Copies of this chain bind each other. A is one copy, B any other.
């Protein structure tokens, strides 16, 4: 056995000689980026080791430059551990960290399901032999509390030590804790958004209705693949693998919780509830429920309703008896996160017709109005998150996020760094500009005939060139990039985006058709998700990602899924509403619609 230590964090693990660094990272529960599931084809799992330990003959595809190799960078899935090893992780900043939302939620009634009661109990005598539990219950206003063996077990000690002056923590029909003395001035909960890519945790003051802090981490399940299908495939291998996915995501959340507790001077037991949103696959995996049949048609989830379990059962580090509430989902690919969006955007309460689109690793679409809520999901694909795009990357330092084509190409890069790739919002911008400038045809094809090229400015013409897999467009020349090589958009990249945006627009069109409304009846288009914050509305309209509504009808609403979780945490009325909305929602399975193909093909066009 040899020891592998991961920096920063110094997490160490013993593995057998010959294991890959990726295998060690999985065993150690260290999150590592990977979109190919360890097949050595995505090049995302770069880590740094002592360069003298690297065999120069080791094949790591085209993913590493010479200088990277010299500095000890290797692919974690290719590098096999031969002796004790220290591994430095290249941490990319999460999109979340660009903007933290610590705003106060003002427009909901503050009625958390968690309540605290200070109780001064009469002491027992031979004339009043009421059992401890009954004594406590008689003093509480809620009459129907379930017996809790774990709490009953230690109740006598707490009552006697506190001289029968205690605070009871109650959540619905459950007694969560009995704390000595008066602790009614403290009550905390967590809103948790488990994204396929990033997990975010918000620490919430349940008495003030205030978001005290938040923190995020790459979803540690990423080592099993970037998309939900790779993770379902892993979970489907057996109960052990399913458990592995459950464990790593909970461990990741526990890492965040421990940071939040430390920063805010709280103990694990001070957190009484956690409300969780995520897509249907994330909900299944978080609960350790087999997601196998979500992957193939007919895409069947195991459950739809809201699930409440004790934290200890899942291993989540809040009060052991505290409840973890997983928000209901609608269908296999319309999850709790989408219900969170419905809650936060109040789609059921807005006048007229509301379209809400949440573009993440998948694209979920909600169309609400006329007392109906329609949903569908499309394989938006990971294109918007940088996967399957040659120079695609997440919204981190060095990512091109804005593109302008005039006489030449102008770029805005995150962190004002030299560009090393392009993120989703940059991709949409680039292609919108390319369509507008005539670099691509309506069909999406990069222009290459002399006549077409002649219409373009000289410097733009230079950027169009034939490469191995077809034509490509140079966004940034090697001399100006952080990679020392050109950053390009290939014809294939454009096709990927085209398929993604086509699917979304077709989905929207089908929902509108089902609802029986036209473009002019659409009162608003809400863009949920971090992506919605950064996207250029004009560009989204130009490439036909969204239906052709006036610009002012389009509004970004931020991490609405997370906001929904916060609202459910702070108000049991919102929790009821979540159940109602999930129940009310009519899910349209696009693959069953005979009109989908037609809408889809039509939606592929970049026609102005």
Asked whether any CB of chain B lies closer than 8 Å to the CB of A307, the reply is: yes
In the bound complex, residues from chain B placing their C-beta under 8 Å from that of A538 are none
In the bound complex, residues from chain B placing their C-beta under 8 Å from that of A304 are 131, 133-134
Asked whether any CB of chain B lies closer than 8 Å to the CB of A288, the reply is: yes
Asked whether any CB of chain B lies closer than 8 Å to the CB of A470, the reply is: no
CA separation between A131 and B156, bound complex, in Å?
Answer: 44
Asked whether any CB of chain B lies closer than 8 Å to the CB of A155, the reply is: yes
Q: Which of A219-270 contact B (CB under 8 A)?
A: 239, 242
User: CB-CB contacts of A129-158 with B at 8 A, as 1s and 0s?
Assistant: 111111000000000000101001111110
Whether A156 lies near B125 (C-beta < 8 A) is: no
Whether B292 lies near A156 (C-beta < 8 A) is: yes
CA separation between A307 and B292, bound complex, in Å?
Answer: 36
CA separation between A303 and B331, bound complex, in Å?
Answer: 43
In the bound complex, residues from chain B placing their C-beta under 8 Å from that of A130 are 300
Given A290-B156, A307-B147, A131:B301 Cβ within 8 A: yes
* Shortest Cβ distance from residue A376 to the other chain B in the assembled complex, whole angstroms: 12
* Shortest Cβ distance from residue A80 to the other chain B in the assembled complex, whole angstroms: 34
The stretch that binds B, out of A107-115, A519-527, A560-568, A587-595, is: A587-595
Whether B287 lies near A149 (C-beta < 8 A) is: yes
Residue count of chain A within 8 Å CB distance of chain B? 46
CA separation between A591 and B298, bound complex, in Å?
Answer: 70
CA separation between A239 and B160, bound complex, in Å?
Answer: 15
CA separation between A128 and B131, bound complex, in Å?
Answer: 51
* Shortest Cβ distance from residue A139 to the other chain B in the assembled complex, whole angstroms: 15
Asked whether any CB of chain B lies closer than 8 Å to the CB of A305, the reply is: yes
Whether B154 lies near A303 (C-beta < 8 A) is: no
Whether B331 lies near A300 (C-beta < 8 A) is: no
Asked whether any CB of chain B lies closer than 8 Å to the CB of A95, the reply is: no
Asked whether any CB of chain B lies closer than 8 Å to the CB of A297, the reply is: yes
Select which of B126, B290, B331 is within 8 A of A297 by beta carbon: B126
Whether B589 lies near A309 (C-beta < 8 A) is: no
Asked whether any CB of chain B lies closer than 8 Å to the CB of A534, the reply is: no
Nearest chain B residue, comparing its CB with the CB of A158: B290
Asked whether any CB of chain B lies closer than 8 Å to the CB of A335, the reply is: no
Whether B132 lies near A239 (C-beta < 8 A) is: no
Given A127-B592, A154-B290, A160-B293, A301:B149 Cβ within 8 A: no
* Shortest Cβ distance from residue A466 to the other chain B in the assembled complex, whole angstroms: 42
Whether B307 lies near A149 (C-beta < 8 A) is: yes
Whether A289 lies near B152 (C-beta < 8 A) is: yes
CA separation between A207 and B125, bound complex, in Å?
Answer: 46
Select which of B303, B305, B313, B331 is within 8 A of A129 by beta carbon: B331
CA separation between A160 and B304, bound complex, in Å?
Answer: 19
Whether B302 lies near A132 (C-beta < 8 A) is: yes
Given A129-B587, A154-B239, A298:B149 Cβ within 8 A: no
In the bound complex, residues from chain B placing their C-beta under 8 Å from that of A239 are 154
Whether A129 lies near B300 (C-beta < 8 A) is: yes
Q: Which of A465-510 contact B (CB under 8 A)?
A: none
* Shortest Cβ distance from residue A457 to the other chain B in the assembled complex, whole angstroms: 50
CA separation between A331 and B313, bound complex, in Å?
Answer: 32
Whether A288 lies near B587 (C-beta < 8 A) is: no
Whether A298 lies near B153 (C-beta < 8 A) is: no
CA separation between A155 and B284, bound complex, in Å?
Answer: 12
Whether B153 lies near A288 (C-beta < 8 A) is: yes
Whether A290 lies near B149 (C-beta < 8 A) is: no
Given A149-B289, A304-B131, A298:B124 Cβ within 8 A: yes
Select which of B153, B297, B307 is within 8 A of A289 by beta carbon: B153
In the bound complex, residues from chain B placing their C-beta under 8 Å from that of A305 are 133-134, 147
In the bound complex, residues from chain B placing their C-beta under 8 Å from that of A153 are 242, 287-290, 302
* Shortest Cβ distance from residue A295 to the other chain B in the assembled complex, whole angstroms: 11
* Shortest Cβ distance from residue A236 to the other chain B in the assembled complex, whole angstroms: 9
CA separation between A124 and B589, bound complex, in Å?
Answer: 13
Whether B290 lies near A157 (C-beta < 8 A) is: yes
Whether B302 lies near A155 (C-beta < 8 A) is: yes
* Shortest Cβ distance from residue A31 to the other chain B in the assembled complex, whole angstroms: 24
User: Residues of A at under 8 Å CB distance from B?
Assistant: 124-134, 147, 149, 152-157, 160, 239, 242, 287-290, 292-293, 297-305, 307, 309, 313, 331-332, 587, 589, 591-592
Supply 8 A–B pairs (Cβ within 8 Å), ascending by A.
A126-B297, A129-B589, A131-B304, A132-B300, A134-B305, A149-B309, A155-B302, A156-B302
Q: Which 10 A-B pairs have the closest CB atoms?
A: A126-B298, A133-B303, A131-B301, A124-B300, A132-B302, A131-B304, A153-B289, A156-B290, A126-B592, A152-B302
